[in-house]
Structure 1
């Protein structure tokens, strides 16, 4: 009897975890250093009352990214690495949209982000990959050496031209 209770409890726990999305593959998000990304999180099954709008954003399970409690932002316990870099969309909370925008991306932002909507026990997992910006194709800046060598080339060209003109006159008129 005891073994059967333990098995039923384990099956219930596994089904509960699967239902809540805890075992889901994280959504892959890519960004570029210095840019911004939207980290999506929404609940559309029903309209949440303001008292039910409790959402907790975490980075690598322990750093506090952003909290929404009863539909209001709470940043007192926000980790210093995210201070002044997070934007949310309070007008969208009533629609179940608790997405945030992470600005001024850094390589150290690579990792797992979690959005947990507590009253409905829904969790979203996101994996952010931050890459370097693509190289710019700007022309190389001239240096003192390159300017003098290009001037030398121009002078050599003028000298060669004058020699050719002089040879022309010598051959045709003398």
Structure 2
């Protein structure tokens, strides 16, 4: 009797989601610094460089004041940001074309001072997950000083200098035409979500026909960088004042 053996080979589709073994989520390894108004990329990649297209990519804030601090969620091959923190609406995105290479970095557009903090990049496949921490520091470089003045009844003039949107808090000084710091009123300070606003008044005699400079300086020890902005007023013999601003 002749026996025949029939072999059937069945090819089963292999899901890229199931085929992903252990991986590591790698962050930048250092604190990220940005200036308010800039765009910022929070680097995050998979090692080895496997595709993240079929995975869940979740970016969220740590130690945030809301119960669900979602910054960006990619799941089932698309962004799903219905529960995103309101202040991030329309400002977050992934590098969609580079997900296949394991790039799960987050692009944050037009950063705000409130964006400063710790972020977690959490990646999950069907069989494995990992995360990494990214710390972000946002600096506010404020506005050019705004000068105003008013005449006093006792033959004096009040010069007022004000500048806002700074972080960290700057110093503010009045200087004479030779660059010497003058004895002005104590500075006033206000802090809100837009940063620090500083204001300072200098009182002079009406016959002081000289140049006066308001200088606002910020020293950020976190990155060892100093920024200075100045505004100048020229007091003439006649009541016609000249203002100049330099950044």
TM-score (norm 1): 0.61
Alignment counterpart, residue 130 of structure 2, candidates 106, 122, 126: 122
Q: Which has the higher contact order (CA 8 A, sep 6+)?
A: 1
1:25-53 CA distance string (max 9 Å, x none): 963111111112101111131423633x2
Residue in structure 2 matched with residue 32 of structure 1 by the alignment? 35
Alignment counterpart, residue 59 of structure 2, candidates 57, 78, 85: 57
Contact 2:56 2:75 in 1 (8 A): yes
1:121-170 CA distance string (max 9 Å, x none): 12110111111227565664x67x5594789xxxxxxxxxxxxxxxxxxx
SS state of the match for residue 27, structure 1?
coil
Unaligned runs of 5+ residues in structure 1 are 1-18, 152-174
Unaligned runs of 5+ residues in structure 2 are 1-22, 142-225, 242-247
Contact 2:36 2:140 in 1 (8 A): yes
Contact 1:71 1:90 in 2 (8 A): no
Large movers: runs of 4+ above 3 Å: 24-27, 134-140, 145-151
Residue in structure 2 matched with residue 85 of structure 1 by the alignment? 91
Larger radius of gyration: 1
Partners of 1:147 and 1:37 in 2: CA distance: 50
Residue in structure 2 matched with residue 108 of structure 1 by the alignment? 114
RMSD of the TM alignment (CA)? Answer: 3.1
Partners of 1:32 and 1:147 in 2: CA distance: 42
Aligned pairs, how many? 128
**Stretch of structure 1 that moved more, 123-132 or 54-63:** 54-63
When residues 92 and 109 of structure 1 are mapped into structure 2, their CA distance, relative to the original with a 3 A threshold, is same
Contact 2:52 2:101 in 1 (8 A): no
The within-5 A match list for 1:1-174 is 27-48=30-51, 50-51=53-54, 53-60=55-62, 62-119=68-125, 120-133=128-141, 135=227, 137=229, 140=232, 148=238
Contact 1:113 1:127 in 2 (8 A): yes
Contact 1:26 1:124 in 2 (8 A): no
When residues 137 and 99 of structure 1 are mapped into structure 2, their CA distance, relative to the original with a 3 A threshold, is same
Of Structure 1 and Structure 2, which has the larger fraction of its residues in strand?
2
When residues 148 and 88 of structure 1 are mapped into structure 2, their CA distance, relative to the original with a 3 A threshold, is farther
Residue in structure 2 matched with residue 3 of structure 1 by the alignment? none
Contact 2:44 2:121 in 1 (8 A): yes
Residue in structure 2 matched with residue 165 of structure 1 by the alignment? none
TM-score (norm 2): 0.44
